[in-house]
Amino acid sequence: MAARQIAERIYAAERLLSDNPTVGRPGRVTGTREWAVKGAPYLVGYSLQDHELVILALLHSKQQWPDRLD
């Protein structure tokens, strides 16, 4: 049940980003953006390429952020 709730929150975050890709903050990696998944300890790393949302990473907030996302 808990895993399903987390998955639903991640999918909700992806849908929100798909509709509003500039809502996230500028990312720690140049050229990326970040969005915190509401109610879950995850961050979505993404970029906008040719007006298209590209999810680059889904990381637990306790993980060390990588130098590159690709």
| Residue 59 tokens, joined | 């990381």
Q: What confidence tens digit (pLDDT) does each residue in 27-66 have?
A: 999 999 999 999 999 999 999 998 899 999 999 989 888 8
| Residue 24 tokens, joined | 């996230």
Q: State the DSSP string of 1-60.
A: -HHHHHHHHHHHHHHHHHH-TTSSEEPSSTT-EEEEPTTSSEEEEEEEETTEEEEEEEEE
> What does each C-alpha distance from 26 to 4, 18, 23, 40 come to in angstroms?
29, 16, 9, 20
Please give the pLDDT value at position 3: 93
Please give the pLDDT value at position 65: 84
Question: Looking at residues 13-38, what average pLDDT do you find?
Answer: 94
70 has pLDDT over 80: no
pTM of the entire predicted model:
0.86
67 has pLDDT over 90: no
